[in-house]
C-alpha cells in the first residue's frame, strides 16, 4: 500500500518530512522540515499531516522576510477565526506552526528585519494565537478525562447488569450499632437509663484500678537481673547457691591475720627460711 507523500515512519512513529523551496530555505535556516506527528496510527498521522501542509505550502514560496511575514500574518488571522471547540488534528497543526513561527521570528530579528516594523499587528496576533492554543489544549485534556470517566462508568454498569460484580459489592454495608455500656454500680439507680457508649460522659465510665509496680512489670513481661520478691530470700530457679565451709567468724579472721595464711605460725620459721636461701 502506497503511503502519502511527506509522511515518514521511524520506530513505529510517524513524522512529517518536507523540503523547503530553494529561495525559502535560507530564510528558515534549514532545507528540510521534519516534525513528529505524535502518533503511531496511520489514519491519525495522515489527518495531522494534511492540517500541517496547509500553512507549509503557503509560506514555502516566499523569497524574502517581508513577504514571508505578510503571509504568516494572514495565516494567523485565519487561525484566530477558528470555531470553538478546536479538533485535535487542528490543534496539533497549530502547535507545530507556533513553534516554526517562533523560530522564524528569531531568525528575522537576527538578520536585522523586525517583524513588527513590517506588520505592526504581528506581535499581538502571535500572542493571541499562543493563548488560544493553551486554552484549547487544556479543554481537550479535560474532555478526554471526562470521556475516560464515562467509559468506565458505563463499563461498570454493564458489568453489574451482566452479573460480573459480586452481590457483596452491590449492597451497602450494614451499619454497626454502638455497644451499650452501663454506668458503675455506685451511680446506678432504678431510674438510671442504660445509654449507649456514644452518649455517656467521660466521668460515667468505669475507670480501672491502678496496678502496683510489681504487677505492672509482670503484666508487660519485664525482665530484671533479679526476680520479684528476691529480697525476701526466695531462690531463683536454675541458679545454685554458693556453699561456704562451716566455720566461725573468729576462725575466718584468724586465717587472714597470718602473713601466709593458716599453717604458718609466728615462730620465725619464715625468717630462717629466708636466711638459708
Mean residue pLDDT across the chain: 74
Q: N- to C-terminal Cα distance for the chain? A: 123
Query: How sure is the predictor about 186, in pLDDT bands with cuts at 50, 70 and 90?
Result: very low
Query: How sure is the predictor about 41, in pLDDT bands with cuts at 50, 70 and 90?
Result: very high
Position 161 scores a pLDDT of 79
Greater confidence (182 vs 80) lies with: 80
Lowest mean pLDDT among 29-33, 62-66, 201-205: 201-205
Position 270 scores a pLDDT of 46
Cα separation, 48 vs 58, in Å, equals 17
* Grid coordinates given for 243: 556453699
**Confidence (pTM):** 0.54
Amino acid at each position: 500500500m502506497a503511503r502519502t507523500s511527506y509522511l515518514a515512519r521511524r520506530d513505529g512513529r510517524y513524522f512529517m518530512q518536507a523540503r523547503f523551496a530553494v529561495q525559502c530555505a535560507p530564510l528558515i535556516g534549514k532545507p528540510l522540515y521534519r516534525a513528529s506527528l505524535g502518533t503511531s496510527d496511520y489514519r491519525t498521522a495522515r489527518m495531522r499531516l494534511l492540517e500541517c501542509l496547509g500553512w507549509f505550502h503557503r509560506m514555502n514560496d516566499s523569497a524574502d522576510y517581508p513577504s514571508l511575514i505578510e503571509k504568516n500574518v494572514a495565516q494567523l488571522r485565519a487561525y484566530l477565526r477558528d470555531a470553538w471547540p478546536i479538533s485535535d488534528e487542528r490543534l496539533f497543526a497549530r502547535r507545530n506552526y507556533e513553534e516554526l513561527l517562533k523560530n522564524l521570528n528569531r531568525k528575522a530579528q537576527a538578520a536585522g528585519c523586525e517583524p513588527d516594523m513590517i506588520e505592526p499587528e504581528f506581535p499581538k496576533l502571535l500572542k493571541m494565537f499562543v493563548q488560544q492554543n493553551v486554552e484549547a489544549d487544556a479543554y481537550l485534556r479535560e474532555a478526554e478525562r471526562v470521556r475516560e470517566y464515562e467509559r468506565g462508568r458505563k463499563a461498570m454498569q454493564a458489568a453489574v447488569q451482566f452479573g460480573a460484580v459480586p452481590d457483596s459489592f452491590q449492597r451497602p454495608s450494614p451499619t454497626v450499632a454502638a455497644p451499650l455500656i452501663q454506668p458503675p454500680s455506685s451511680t446506678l439507680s432504678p431510674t438510671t437509663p442504660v445509654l449507649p457508649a456514644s452518649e455517656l460522659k467521660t466521668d460515667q465510665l468505669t475507670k480501672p484500678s491502678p496496678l502496683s509496680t510489681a504487677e505492672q512489670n509482670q503484666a508487660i513481661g519485664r525482665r530484671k537481673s533479679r526476680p520479684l520478691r528476691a529480697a525476701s530470700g526466695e531462690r531463683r530457679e536454675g541458679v545454685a547457691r554458693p556453699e561456704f565451709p562451716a566455720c566461725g567468724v573468729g576462725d575466718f579472721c584468724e586465717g587472714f591475720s597470718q602473713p601466709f595464711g593458716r599453717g604458718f605460725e609466728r615462730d620465725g620459721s619464715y625468717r630462717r627460711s629466708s636466711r638459708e636461701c
